[in-house]
Amino acid sequence: MAGKKISAFKNEPLTDFSKSANKKAFEKALKKVESELGKEYFVIIDGDRIRTNQTLRSLNPSNREQVIGTFYQANEEYANKAIELAHEKFLKWRTVTPEKRAQYLFKAAAIMRKRKHEFSAWMVYEVGKSWVEADADTAEAIDFMEFYGREMLRYAGDQPLVKLPAEKNRLLYIPLGVGAVIPPWNFPLAILVGMTTAAIVAGNTVVLKPSSDSPSIAIKFFELMEEVGLPKGVLNFVPGPGSGMGDALTKHPLTRFIAFTGSKSVGLHINKAAAETQTGQLWIKRVVAEMGGKDSIIVDNEADLDKAAEGVLYSAFGFQGQKCSACSRAIVVESVHQKFMSKLLDKAKTLTVGNPVDPKNYMGPVINDKALGSMMWYIDKAKQEGGEIVFGGTKDDTVGSFLTPTIVDNVKPKDTISQEEIFGPVLAVIKAKNYDEALEIANNTEYGLTGAVYSKNKNKIERAKAEFHVGNLYLNRKCTGAMVGAHPFGGFNMSGTDSKAGGRDYLMLFTQAKVWSEKVK
C-alpha cells in the first residue's frame, strides 16, 4: 500500500442478516469455529510460545460443558520477562516509520473484514454475543484499525506552529515505550484491538493481558497480527490472573504506560499501583483507564413515548446489559410514568433469551455464574429497598448463566441499584417529579459515562447539553452503539481518565510531543 493514496475513513457497515446469503455465511463461520474449539494456547513472549505449569479453561457461558480453549497462564516472572523483552524490542520498533506502522493496521483490517464472521463467531461462543452484537463488535475493531492508522499518519504530518524568523521548528509525536494493555471481556475484540493497535501504531510495544473470560478472541487477534507480519515482540500475549501477574505488569519499572478498560475498582487499583515509583524507574507512568458506568435515560413528559420505550429497552438489554454504555436507569417524569411503563413492558415481552448460536435469541447468557450471582444479589437488594420487580428477575443456571431481562420499578434515586454498576440485564426505573428533578437524579452517581434524553422540547434538550454531565450524551436516541470517529467514546468522573476512544485526541495518549528548534540564520 506504500505510496498509495489512503481513502477517507468510513465506518464498516453492519451485516444485514435478513439477507439469506449473509445468514448462510454466518452459519458457516459458526460451524468452522465450532470445529476449532478446545485447542491449547501458549503464552507468547517475543515470538516464543511458552508452556507454563498452570492452565485456564475458557468455557462457553451458554453451555459450560463446551471448552472454548485452554490457556497456559503466565505468572509474575513471565510478566516481568515480557515487559523486559518488549522494552528491548521498543528500541527498534520506535525507529520504524509511522507510515509502515500504519500499514500493519490497514492490512490487518483488510483480513479481518474478509473473515469478519469468523471473528464474530468466536464471540458468540466465548462471551455469548448475539450475531448482531458480535457483528457490531467486529465492525468496531475494523474501524479502530482503519481510524488509528489514518490518525497516525495525521499525527506524523506537519504540526502547525507559530513561525519565527530565524528558526526552523518542528513538533513530533514520538512513542512512550512499553505498554501493558488490559482489556475487559465485554467488547472482547473491539476494545482489545482499539487499545492495542493505538499503542502499536504510535510506535510503542505492547504486553497484552487478555481477560480470563475472553482469551480465545484475544489470541485470534494476536494470530492476525502475526499473519500480517508484525515483528516479533512488538505484541506479546500474556494471559494470566489480574492480581499477581496483572500487578507485576503495572508495577514493573520499565512499564511506561497502562491502557486499561474495566471496572472502577480495578481501574483505581491500577492507577494507585502505577503511581508508586519503583527503583530504577525513569518516568511517571501514564494510565489510560476507561471504567464503569451507571447510565441513565431521561424520559420527559414531552417525549415520544414509543421511541423512548424502544430506546430504553435496547439500551438496557442489548448484550444482556453488559455494556459500559448500557442504560441501567430510566428516569421517568411522573406524569407519563404509567403510560411509559405499559409501553416498555409490552416491548420487553418480545425479547427472547437463549443460546445466541440461534439468531432468534435476542439475549444470550451473562458472562459467568459469578456475575449471575452478583446480579441476583442486586435484584434481592432492590426488593429489600422497596423496588418492585415488574418484569423478569429469574435465572436459569442449569447449563449456562442466563437471566431474564429484569425491570425494577419504584427505585429511589439513592437506592443501591440506582447507584452501583450491576453490569447485567437489570433496569431500574425511577420517577422524577419534573424535568429539573430528572436531571438532578441523572447526575447523582459517581459515574459519568453515557446518558440520553427523550424530549420534543428544544429548551430541555439544550439544558441537557449543558447540565447532563456525561462523556457521551445522546438526544432522542438510545445511549449505546458509539461509532468510531463519529462518537469518540469515554466518560467523566469515576468512569475513567476522560479519554476518548475513536477520537482525534486518542493517539496523543500513547505519544509524547518532542519539539526541536534549529537556528537557521
- Closest to 396 in 3D by CA, of 374, 369, 432: 369
Q: Beta-carbon neighbour count of residue 320 at 10 Å?
A: 33
Separation CA 193–CA 47 (nearest Å): 19
Alpha carbon distance 469, 222 (integer Å): 37
C-alpha cell, 294: 451507571
Tell me how far, at minimum, the Cβ of 449 lies from ligand NAD, in Å: 6
Distance between CA 125 and CA 203 in Å, rounded? 33
Q: Are strands 295-299 and 327-333 parallel, antiparallel or unpaired?
A: parallel
Pick 209 or 285: Cβ nearer ligand NAD: 209
Identify the active-site residue in 12, 133, 140, 290: 290
Residue 113 CA to residue 117 CA, distance in Å, equals 9
297 or 341: CB nearest ligand NAD: 297
- Cβ proximity to ligand NAD, 243 vs 394, nearer residue: 243
CB of 324 to ligand NAD, least distance (A): 3
Q: Can you give the binding site for ligand NAD, defined by CB under 6 A?
A: 182-187, 191, 209, 211-212, 242-243, 246-247, 250, 261-263, 266, 269-270, 290-293, 324, 421, 423, 449, 490-491, 495-496
> Can 151 be counted among the known catalytic residues?
no
**By C-beta, is 234 or 422 nearer to ligand NAD?**
422
| Identity of the residue, 419 or 457, whose beta carbon is nearer to ligand NAD in the bound complex | 419
- Cα–Cα distances in angstroms (integers) from residue 382 to residues 3, 377, 438, in the given order: 60, 9, 20
- Grouping H, G, I as helix, E, B as strand and the rest as coil, residue 506 is helix
Residue closer to ligand NAD (CB basis): 343 or 478 = 478
Q: How far is the CB of 292 from ligand NAD (least distance, A)?
A: 3
Active-site residue 36, yes or no?
no
Distance between CA atoms of residues 297 and 457, nearest Å: 16
Interhelix angle 131-156/98-114, rounded to 10 degrees, is: 160
CB of 32 to ligand NAD, least distance (A): 27
Catalytic position from the list 118, 126, 146, 324: 324
Distance CA(119)–CA(189), nearest Å, equals 8
**Minimum distance, C-beta of residue 74 to ligand NAD, in the bound complex (Å):** 12
Cα–Cα dist 424/328, whole Å? 9
Closest distance of CB 221 from ligand NAD, Å: 14
Q: Which residues are catalytic?
A: 290, 324
